[in-house]
Amino acid sequence: MQKLKINGGISLSGEIDISGSKNAALPIIASSILSSSCLKISNIPKLHDVSTMIELLKTMGASYTNQGDYCLKIEANNLNNHIAPYHLVKTMRASILVLGPLLARYGKARVSLPGGCAIGARPVNLHIDGLRKMGADIQIKEGYIDAKVNRLKGAKIFLDPITVTGTANLMMAATLAEGKTIIENAAIEPEIVNLGECLQSMGAKIGGLGTRVMSIEGVDYLGEADHEVIPDRIEAATFLIAACVTKGSLRVNRVRIDHLDSVIDLLKRAGATISFDENHIDISLKGAIKPIDFTTNPYPGVPTDVQAQFMVLNVLAEGDSKIIETIFENRLMHVLELQRMGASINLDKNTAYVKGVRKLSAAPVMATDLRASAALVLAGLAAKGETIIDRIYHIDRGYEEIDQKLFQLGAKVLRLDS
Ligand code: EPU
C-alpha cells in the first residue's frame, strides 16, 4: 500500500491545470451504453475510478480506443453481458450508474448492490423506486439488483432527498423510455448538466436540464456524439484551499468559474484575495485566516466534497467556527486524524465545532476516504515537519497525479511504496 510523505510548511506558488471531472466522467462513460453508435469523450481524467468504469464496460462486451492522452472512443452497441459484478462494484459505488442505461437499452441488468460506505449508508432505493415506476421488474437477490423490462415507460418521479447519481441513472433510463418522464427535485450539479448535454448531443430530448424539474421525452434510439468532460470543480477547490492553508499564491488554470461560486465565497470570507479571468483563478492569502461557518448542501450550496478540505482552513484560522454536514451521516472521519495533528475540534452528531489553532504539527495519519485524504494532504502541506499519509489509494481514486501536481507547485511530496 502506498503512502505519501509530505515535508510541510512551504508556501505553494505557481500554476496548475485542473483535470476533467471524475463525477462527470463516470456517468458520461456509462451513458455510452445507450448509444447505437459510438461515443467520443474528451478531457477524461486519469483516475482509478475512471479505469474501473471502463473495465466494467469491457467485461460487458464494450470496446474502446484511446484517441490521444485524455480522449476515448467507446462502442457499447453490442453488449453480451449485462452484469456489474460485486468485485467491481465494491471498489466503486458509481458502478450503479450502468443500471438505468442497461435497462433502457437492453431490457435487463444485474448489478451488485453497492452496500455501505465509509461516509454513510448511501442507499440506492431512489434509483430502484424510480425504475420500478417506469415499469421495471426489480428483485433484490443474493446481493444483486436483478432488473428486467420490455421497454421502460415514462413516469412522474419525485426524488427525496435530492440524489446526484439517482438523477443521472433515471435521466439516462428515461431517454429511451416510451413517453415522457418528469423528474422532480432533480439534482442540478454541473456534472448532471454535463451528462445531460452529452445525452442531448446523442439525440435525447431533455427539457429543464439544470433545474429542479426535468422533463424527458423518450426517443427510439440514440446516436453518435463527441463530448467534453467539464473541469473538476472539487479538484479546483482543493488546490485553491491548498494555496490558502500554505499562505501561498497560485494560478489555477482550466476551471469553470461559474461552477465555483459557493467555494469562492467561502475563500473570500476566509481572507483570500481572488481574481479571475475566463478560465483561470488567481488566489493568495497573506496574514491571518478568518474562521468561516458553513453548512454543506446540494448544488449550488457548499459541496459536501469540500467540507473536509475547508475544515483544515478553519483549523488554521484565528477564531472559532462551526461546520454542519447535511448530505452524509458519517463524513467527519477526518476529524480524528486532524486531532492527531493538533486540531481542536468537537463533534456533536454532524456538526463540527472548530477552535482555530493557527498551526498544525506533522504526524503519521491514515486516509479514510477520498475527500478526507485530500484534507490530510492539505494539513500535511501546512504543518512544519514530516507527515506520512497511509492508504493513499483513496486519493488516487479522485485526484490525478496529486503528488506530481503539488511537486510542481514547490511542495516537498514523495510517494512511498511500503
Ligand atoms: N440517498 C438516498 N437514497 C438514494 C440515493 C441517495 O437516501 O437512493 C441519500 C444518500 O444516502 C445521501 C443523499 O441522498 O444522504 C445524497 O446522496 P447522492 O445520491 O446525491 O450521492 P451520490 O450520487 O452517491 C455523488 C458523488 C459524491 C458526492 C455526492 C453529493 C458521484 C460518483 N459521487 O454521490 O462524490 O459526495 O454525489 O454531492 O457523483 C466524491 O467524489 O468524493 C463523492 C463521494
Regions of the chain where pLDDT drops below 50:
none
DSSP bridge pairs for 366? 390
Q: Is 172 exposed, middle or buried (0-12, 13-18, 19+ CB in 10 A)?
A: buried
Domain boundaries, the chain: 2-19+231-417, 22-228
Is the CATH code 1.10.3470.10 the one for domain 2-19+231-417? no
Please report the atom of ligand 1 found closest to the CA of residue 168: 23
Q: Which helix (H) or strand (E) segment is 141 a member of? A: strand 137-141
* Chain-centroid distance, C-alpha 185: 20
Question: pLDDT (tens digit, 9 = 90+) per residue, 143-176?
Answer: 999 999 999 999 999 999 999 999 999 999 999 9
Are 1 and 367 in contact, with CB atoms under 8 Å apart?
no
Is the CATH code 3.65.10.10 the one for domain 22-228? yes
* C-alpha cell read off for 360: 498544525
* C-alpha cell read off for 401: 497525479
Q: Which of 164, 306, 309 to mutate for ligand 1's pocket (most ligand atoms within 8 Å of CB)?
A: 164
Quote the pLDDT of residue 69: 87
Are 173 and 111 in contact, with CB atoms under 8 Å apart?
no
Q: How far apart are CA 85 and CA 170, in angstroms?
A: 21
Question: CA dist 192 to 23, 24, 40, 369, 376, Å?
Answer: 9, 7, 18, 23, 28
Residue type, 380: G
Q: How far apart are CA 246 and CA 285, in angstroms?
A: 8
Can 2-19+231-417 and 22-228 be said to share one CATH topology?
yes
Nearby residues of 306 by Cβ (< 8 Å), 6 or more positions away: 234, 237, 238, 241, 263, 371
In this structure, how many other beta carbons lie within 10 angstroms of the beta carbon of residue 116?
11
* C-alpha cell read off for 83: 452484469
DSSP bridge pairs for 178? 153
CA triple 134-137-142, angle to 5 deg: 135
Q: Which of 119, 132, 157, 165 to mutate for ligand 1's pocket (most ligand atoms within 8 Å of CB)?
A: 165
Report CA(126)–ligand 1 centroid distance (Å): 11
Pick the closest to residue 316 from 285, 281, 275, 273 (CA basis).
Answer: 285
Pinpoint the alpha helices (H) of 21-69: 22-30, 48-59
| C-alpha torsion sign, points 402, 390, 359, 232 | positive
CA triple 60-62-63, angle to 5 deg: 145
Residue type, 200: Q
Write the DSSP assignment of 227-277 as a string of letters: EEPPB-HHHHHHHHHHHHHTT-EEEEES--GGG-HHHHHHHHHTT-EEEE-
Which residues are catalytically annotated?
A: 117
The set of long-range contacts for 77-80, using a CB threshold of 8 Å and a minimum separation of 24, is 77/35, 77/36, 77/37, 77/38, 79/33, 79/106
* C-alpha cell read off for 82: 449485462
* C-alpha cell read off for 273: 484575495
Report CA(371)–ligand 1 centroid distance (Å): 13
DSSP bridge pairs for 403? none
Quote the pLDDT of residue 116: 66
Q: How far apart are CA 58 and CA 76, in angstroms?
A: 9
Q: How far apart are CA 165 and CA 189, in angstroms?
A: 10
Report CA(78)–ligand 1 centroid distance (Å): 30
Please report the atom of ligand 1 found closest to the CA of residue 327: 15
